[in-house]
Chains A and B, each alone.
Chain A
């Protein structure tokens, strides 16, 4: 990085001092001063000199002051970053769309570099004509576009063992929500022809990626024909390498592992493959040692993103915006309740927009904080009538050895200083 800010001649050190002074002014913001706020009464450099010209940044990045709003991993969670996961900074985002650049990554054999020119998608198995598509072929099919969340089945998985990590990013950040453009999987399957498959009710598709992990999963034909999408754009632009450029599968509402990246093959089958990712992983061991498999749907869940451990209340008592995210893999969010006393009483939060099926919903609760400690919780309801459970309720059914599908109610303890911590409560 240049040690000088462009055009001003100010050294970075000088700049930082300036920033510190600004911070002090911010601290006193709103407090009327006799002489007035110098940021208003004095002509500021940025209001007098010139800013950057167009093309200074041909592809824009967030301004440097937002440098903390990035994906982060927890190094000791996995053996190596190549087969690992990081977390979306959900604590610092608002709205519902996750920018691609900070949307969490999970790779099994690293993010690969695959050119559109080298991309091939094969459909084989019980189809009338096994086909190979190029990337260009995919762009010629009628398109679909819709917004969906993708949640890793292991999101909040650390927290089964108690309160582990201090931040919504780390407890709930294995999620992102993007507007996808692509072709419906149904369209591609019908292009290959499904007459050869006979009765579709007991058929499956197997999907696999082009990377070394292949990450294959078996998906029931019902789901494949219902709402799955072969996507090549997210939030309007090409997928990022780390999310499967140039083409990934979208499996709305179902665990993220099934959204195969660098999708290279779709096979129609009369039985599931029972691959590594659907037997040894992404299965849920219960107290008696038996394990659930095919736990595909992500149940309704929510979390308060602010205040939270990474987002303490710094302004003291008075008006406070409590906000968070809610989602359900089985439908649309119909309501979110917030409790400030650890689940004794609840009040309904305001949804920024009506919930959409299998997409993130933003909620707000505007309160007048009296400066006393709070146990902040949120609870999501979806249109199946499901009410997000507590961790105790989940443990009662599943025992203590679960890894995946922890959709319990989260508690942040906010103290009188506005600092928040991850806790479990009685």
Chain B
């Protein structure tokens, strides 16, 4: 009880004690079944209550992590690109730019288990077995030097793990430390000395106009945007008036409806793969031009060993190979970096192939 902020208690005592606005029930809805509740109620609490049966050790965790998590979080949970780092950062919380990881910041182990089980891996949430979740969490703990390499995580050992920042949190204290202070409504002579600029803006241009480096007077919306619009329209028209250019490149026939469907299916891939003009490698290689391309040939992407071996063997991403790969990546190529469960529906595969084809013209 004492954990609640005082302001909240004072404000809402009335809400708790007032007679219900609606005394009689309407009889709407139906009783939830035990199976339904069990399917959705996955909460795990800091005291370990509601943990499922199962267990996982560090070394199994390393394997599962490499397959399901490392693509974003790095082989050693150190993070890849802009994706979250899960390990490191010990004793940095009182430094400038602290590194907040499971080891350095998260107060409860239950949170890691709960989150991995519900929401990971990104794009395939809810597909890990409880044993795999235990194993992944054990490996994350190991990566943070919080357990030894022979550690096995289970319901029984869950509370043996000491989280370094468990005592690092206080309940919102703004009422005591701030609210009483911020009350002075000064109207004149509120500052002594001349007002001067102490910090100028770091990114002066509009983040969307690509003009961050240009003088501010040209970067403000309205001027830059208005000036750019006619030029763009003319370029489009010029291209339209140039039919010869279109005829020069032999185009594959496309089913526009299927391309549109494929674009929707591609949402499943977008987290890792970019496509189109100006696309860059992300967690996965760019897919512009992938249709009909030799495997393992995107510049600057670090492919898995099996993929490089397949490329060496002359693998080309034609319709049949792409379809087989996308249906079940892990089965098609053991050891691929692509942590994607696969497309179950043939219609989805057909649609995405058409979409990729449209970006390979």
Contact surface of A with B, Cβ cutoff 8 Å: 3, 11-13, 16-17, 20, 23, 68, 72-75, 78-83, 108-110, 122-125, 129-134, 137, 140-142, 162-167, 170, 184, 186-187, 190-193, 200-202, 206, 212-214, 216, 220-223, 225-226, 264-265, 267, 269, 271, 273-276, 279-280, 283, 285, 287-297, 299, 309-312, 314, 330, 335, 337, 341-347, 375, 379, 381, 384-389, 393-394, 397, 400-401, 413, 417, 419, 421-426
Residues of A within 8 A of B98 (CB): 285, 289, 401
Residue of A nearest to B80 (CB): A79
Given contacts A289-B93, A312-B220, are A3 and B201 in contact (CB under 8 A)? no
Residue of A nearest to B40 (CB): A265
Residues of A within 8 A of B43 (CB): 206, 216, 267, 269, 273
Q: Is the CB of B25 within 8 A of A191?
A: yes
Residues of A within 8 A of B220 (CB): 309-310, 312, 419
Given contacts A274-B108, A290-B168, are A163 and B199 in contact (CB under 8 A)? yes
CB distance from B98 to the nearest CB of A (A): 6
Cα-based distance from A165 to B206 in the complex (angstroms): 8
Q: Is the CB of A223 within 8 A of B12?
A: yes
Which chain B residues in 82-138 approach chain A with CB under 8 Å?
82-83, 93-94, 96-98, 100, 102, 105-108, 110-111, 114-115, 118-119, 122-123, 125-126
CB distance from A259 to the nearest CB of B (A): 18
Cα-based distance from A188 to B111 in the complex (angstroms): 28
Given contacts A122-B37, A295-B172, are A387 and B22 in contact (CB under 8 A)? no
Cα-based distance from A165 to B212 in the complex (angstroms): 10
Given contacts A132-B30, A388-B182, are A222 and B119 in contact (CB under 8 A)? no
Residues of B within 8 A of A341 (CB): 195
Given contacts A13-B234, A274-B45, are A279 and B28 in contact (CB under 8 A)? no
Q: Is the CB of A287 within 8 A of B94?
A: yes
Residue of A nearest to B49 (CB): A271
Given contacts A124-B41, A337-B187, A389-B182, are A3 and B32 in contact (CB under 8 A)? no
Residues of A within 8 A of B170 (CB): 290-293
Segment of B145-153, B221-229, B254-262 in the binding face:
B221-229
Given contacts A293-B171, A387-B183, are A3 and B237 in contact (CB under 8 A)? yes
CB distance from B276 to the nearest CB of A (A): 13
Some 23 contacts from A to B, beta carbons below 8 A apart, are: A13-B237, A68-B222, A74-B207, A80-B282, A81-B270, A124-B40, A124-B41, A164-B203, A191-B28, A201-B1, A206-B43, A225-B12, A274-B110, A285-B98, A290-B170, A295-B174, A344-B190, A387-B184, A401-B97, A422-B201, A425-B197, A426-B196, A426-B197
Q: Is the CB of B172 within 8 A of A296?
A: yes
Kindly identify which residue among B7, B41, B207, B216 contacts A421, using a CB–CB cutoff of 8 Å: B216
Residue from B43, B72, B216 having most chain A Cβ neighbours under 10 A: B43
Given contacts A3-B237, A130-B32, A293-B172, are A202 and B1 in contact (CB under 8 A)? yes
Q: Is the CB of A292 within 8 A of B171?
A: yes
Cα-based distance from A129 to B37 in the complex (angstroms): 12
Q: Is the CB of A345 within 8 A of B270?
A: no
CB distance from B268 to the nearest CB of A (A): 9
Cα-based distance from A276 to B81 in the complex (angstroms): 21
Q: Is the CB of B205 within 8 A of A166?
A: yes
Is B271 interfacial (CB 8 A cutoff)? yes
Cα-based distance from A422 to B93 in the complex (angstroms): 29
Cα-based distance from A137 to B114 in the complex (angstroms): 30
Given contacts A165-B207, A345-B189, are A274 and B29 in contact (CB under 8 A)? no
Contact surface of B with A, Cβ cutoff 8 Å: 1, 4-5, 7-9, 11-13, 15-16, 20-22, 25-26, 28-32, 36-37, 40-41, 43-46, 72, 81-83, 93-94, 96-98, 100, 102, 105-108, 110-111, 114-115, 118-119, 122-123, 125-126, 168-174, 177-179, 181-191, 193-208, 216-217, 219-222, 225-226, 229-230, 233-234, 236-237, 240, 267, 270-271, 282
Q: Is the CB of B82 within 8 A of A78?
A: yes
Q: Is the CB of B41 within 8 A of A131?
A: no
Q: Is the CB of A72 within 8 A of B208?
A: yes
Residues of A within 8 A of B193 (CB): 426
Residue from A17, A212, A280 having most chain B Cβ neighbours under 10 A: A280
Q: Given contacts A190-B22, A212-B126, could you give 4 more A-B pairs where the C-beta distance is less than 8 Å? A: A108-B119, A191-B29, A222-B9, A280-B105
Q: Is the CB of B119 within 8 A of A424?
A: no
Residue of A nearest to B93 (CB): A289
CB distance from A80 to the nearest CB of B (A): 5
Residues of A within 8 A of B171 (CB): 292-294
Kindly identify which residue among B83, B118, B270 contacts A214, using a CB–CB cutoff of 8 Å: B118
Residues of B within 8 A of A82 (CB): 122, 267, 270-271
Q: Is the CB of A274 within 8 A of B182?
A: no
Cα-based distance from A82 to B195 in the complex (angstroms): 42
Given contacts A68-B225, A109-B119, are A387 and B199 in contact (CB under 8 A)? no
CB distance from A200 to the nearest CB of B (A): 5
Q: Is the CB of A426 within 8 A of B37?
A: no
Residues of B within 8 A of A385 (CB): 183
Cα-based distance from A385 to B123 in the complex (angstroms): 47
Q: Is the CB of A164 within 8 A of B174?
A: no
Q: Is the CB of B230 within 8 A of A20?
A: yes
Cα-based distance from A223 to B9 in the complex (angstroms): 9
CB distance from B287 to the nearest CB of A (A): 15
Kindly identify which residue among A23, A131, A220, A225 contacts B8, using a CB–CB cutoff of 8 Å: A220
Kindly identify which residue among A200, A276, A312 contacts B114, using a CB–CB cutoff of 8 Å: A276
Q: Is the CB of B189 within 8 A of A344?
A: yes
Cα-based distance from A73 to B206 in the complex (angstroms): 11
Q: Is the CB of A276 within 8 A of B111?
A: yes
Residues of B within 8 A of A192 (CB): 29
Q: Is the CB of B182 within 8 A of A346?
A: no
Cα-based distance from A372 to B74 in the complex (angstroms): 54
Cα-based distance from A413 to B8 in the complex (angstroms): 38
Cα-based distance from A426 to B208 in the complex (angstroms): 30
Given contacts A137-B28, A346-B188, are A164 and B115 in contact (CB under 8 A)? no
Cα-based distance from A141 to B27 in the complex (angstroms): 10
Cα-based distance from A267 to B8 in the complex (angstroms): 21
